[in-house]
Structure 1
Amino acid sequence: MLATRDSLAPLRAQFTAPAGYLAACTAGLPTAGTRDAVAAEYSRRPDVDEYCRAVEATRAHFASLVGVATDRVAIGSQTSVQVSLIAASLPDGAEVLVPEHEFSSLVLPFVHAGRGVHVRPVPLADLAAEVTTATSLVAFSLVQSASGAVADADAICAAAARVGARTLCDATQAVGWMPVTAARFDALVCHAYKWLCAPRGVAFLTLSEDFARGLRPAHAGWYAGDDPWASCYGGDAPLAGCARRFDVSPAWQAFVGAEPALRAFAETDMTAVHAYVTALAASFRARLALPAPERASAIVTWPDAGGTDLARLSAAGITASGRNGSARVAFHVFNDLADVERAAAALGR
């Protein structure tokens, strides 16, 4: 772990982490670059040109992180809005296969799509096996918010390909601590305020060219135009010929803060981040005698229906969370073995 930690020194230097912050899966800590950029932004007059540069730089950083061309990335502010774009383009009566206990932002747009669209939840472990010729779309989080379980993306994508179903991956709980290749999926969504430590209000949608051709730009506004500044008035402006046609108007100041954070992550080897954070999580599981997951995860959960363990962590000054009847902690680059020890000791382990 030491060699990995040394290779992460530039990224780790971006954080002044309070001891015991184990909640990157809820909200990431701001980087030094983000704090400086936001402070500078509010000390001067608005600069729209600078806002646009920050948006495009942030888009490019995300594209680099997930291994796609920049023109395959649309920007937004919420994943649920981006998912609803896909829900609106499904054929009438489509079946959407999802994991049980999936995060609601990935499910509710399909539940309320109308037109006979049917959502079928199944256990995550059975997701690939449950894909049938009736399935139009498989929508799943690469890392489950409630449990930290990492989906078998290879099996899911292979099963979908066999029957011609599309895949939508929510990578909000993955990008920032593990390598992610967006091109594996027809569509990928990600909000950057968790593991990418950006301000809330910065989200991304990547689309394959083939899938994008069948989507209707239902949220099109001036920023979706081929030339946004020539698309501010009227209804005859041509839309962008790439994924930018699915852009929504950006939350400018949020992108100003996001740009240095995403740049720091894009300049870091995600394989090294993955090795470091999953080693911390494994150490914590060992202290609590929890079984190892099938696929290594930076999120650790265990049953805590009454919230007793979460209360113990909070009393010890540790920031954690409770989800779906379990206690939940997350290990990120700003954590270390002292955080493992502190949390385990708070639980009497």
Structure 2
Amino acid sequence: MDMQTTVAEASRHFAPRPGYLAACTLGLPTHETIAAQQADLRAWQLGDVSPVAYGEVVEEARAAFARIARVDVGRVAIGSQTSSQVAVVAASVPDGAEVLCVTGDFSSVVFPFLAQAHRGVRVRHVPADELAAAVSADTWLVAWSRVQSATGAVSDDDAILSAARAHGALTFCDLTQAAGVLPVDASRYDLTVTHSYKWLCSPRGAAFLTVAPEVHDRLVPVQAGWYAGDDVWESCYGPDMNLAADARAFDVSPAWPAWVGALPALRLFSSLDPADTWRHATGLGDALCARLDREPQGQAVVTWADPDGADLRVLGRAGLTVSGRAGRVRVAFHLWNTADDVDRVVAALRP
């Protein structure tokens, strides 16, 4: 695919109904994803599938994500869910160490660390805009989301990374609400996690963990199985465990049909300039803010307080698909959205 696919060209790969404004909840499949999954179901029905062929699909998807995340493919581990990959990192936190998190961050970024309390692991929560200042000499790991799920706010990663380096803390960033719409560079962090079913428009069940080489040996491969072996097909039976030397040591056996659908979507997003996608999405978001007499947010997800859910219900009755989280409305703009969607939201809220 042309490495300079434009937003307009990319939008033609989708066929949403008008008013779908919920990429932050669930991305939409491309035409190619639907075709690939339909073909896979038919091949499975006929007995024309094989684990080896599925493995080739997974490796191509891994390489496509590496291009999106701007890292060497050897830093990318594959998995099925964000929480299970965060759990690998959580299980590696030393007994009694401190993990610094954002107050109100998505639970999959936080709960795995809370589950380590029996070992004395301490989780400290601070507001997102205070995260950098809160890093201390006691902090072993800083864990946060590049884009906050509830508010759509983009973190000040320069300040967070600088503070973590100054105190010798590891950095772990969730890119799930960023990759696919916001330019990301996973090489900036020690660790990242990304589920691809939101802005990367893949089926649920295709997720990624990136691991910097210098922290590889500080992680415990608690989910090690046959797919984490140095030679996958020589790792099907014990007693020896010869793990891969790179991030594949943290692989989880793939849910094959999900990866068949993920590959076309990841190909598409690896061909886009994410800066163009971000300009498109935030441009629509700021246009909505202007029409609603609100300050521009510079976000792909426009949010405002809606404690009783009144606005959420109004938008739903107008046939718009938006979401509500933590007492806020979320209106998300992605490749398939246009100025017409802005008009629809305004017409519903200000008839």
- Unpaired runs of 5+ residues, structure 2, are none
Aligned position for 2:89: 86
Cα deviation digits, residues 183-227 of structure 1 (max 9, x gap): 110000000000000000000000100111211111000000011
The alignment status of 1:203 with 2:207, answered yes or no, reads yes
The alignment status of 1:128 with 2:132, answered yes or no, reads yes
Output the CA distance in 2 between the equivalents of 1:317 and 1:47. 42
Cα deviation digits, residues 297-334 of structure 1 (max 9, x gap): 10011011111100011001000011000111100001
Aligned position for 1:314: 316
Superposition map of 1:169-248 within 5 A: 169-248=173-252
Q: CA deviation at 1:8?
A: 1.6
**Among 320, 324, 327, the residue aligned to 2:326:** 324
Superposition map of 1:132-143 within 5 A: 132-143=136-147
Output the CA distance in 1 between the equivalents of 2:303 and 2:59. 37
* SS of the residue 1:322 aligns to: strand
Amino acid paired to 2:345: A
**What is the RMSD computed on CA atoms of the aligned residues?**
1.2
Contact 1:217/1:246, CA 8 A, preserved across alignment: yes
Aligned position for 2:66: 63
Output the CA distance in 1 between the equivalents of 2:140 and 2:295. 35
Output the CA distance in 1 between the equivalents of 2:263 and 2:222. 27
Output the CA distance in 1 between the equivalents of 2:226 and 2:32. 29
The alignment status of 1:289 with 2:293, answered yes or no, reads yes
Superposition map of 1:259-298 within 5 A: 259-293=263-297, 296-298=298-300
- Unpaired runs of 5+ residues, structure 1, are 1-5
* SS of the residue 2:286 aligns to: helix
TM-score (norm 1): 0.96
Aligned position for 1:50: 53
Output the CA distance in 2 between the equivalents of 1:192 and 1:83. 15
Q: CA deviation at 1:10?
A: 2.6
Output the CA distance in 2 between the equivalents of 1:288 and 1:144. 22
Contact 1:230/1:237, CA 8 A, preserved across alignment: no
Cα deviation digits, residues 17-42 of structure 1 (max 9, x gap): 21000000000011111000000001
**Among 109, 112, 123, the residue aligned to 1:109:** 112
Output the CA distance in 2 between the equivalents of 1:19 and 1:112. 42
Output the CA distance in 1 between the equivalents of 2:239 and 2:77. 21
Output the CA distance in 2 between the equivalents of 1:228 and 1:344. 53
Bigger mean CA offset, 230-239 vs 193-202: 230-239
Cα deviation digits, residues 251-305 of structure 1 (max 9, x gap): 0010000000000000111111111111001101111222233xx2100110111
* SS of the residue 1:179 aligns to: coil
Amino acid paired to 1:198: S
TM-score (norm 2): 0.96
Output the CA distance in 2 between the equivalents of 1:248 and 1:12. 32
Amino acid paired to 2:10: L
Cα deviation digits, residues 219-249 of structure 1 (max 9, x gap): 0000000111110011303111100000000
Contact 1:321/1:329, CA 8 A, preserved across alignment: yes
Q: CA deviation at 1:7?
A: 2.5
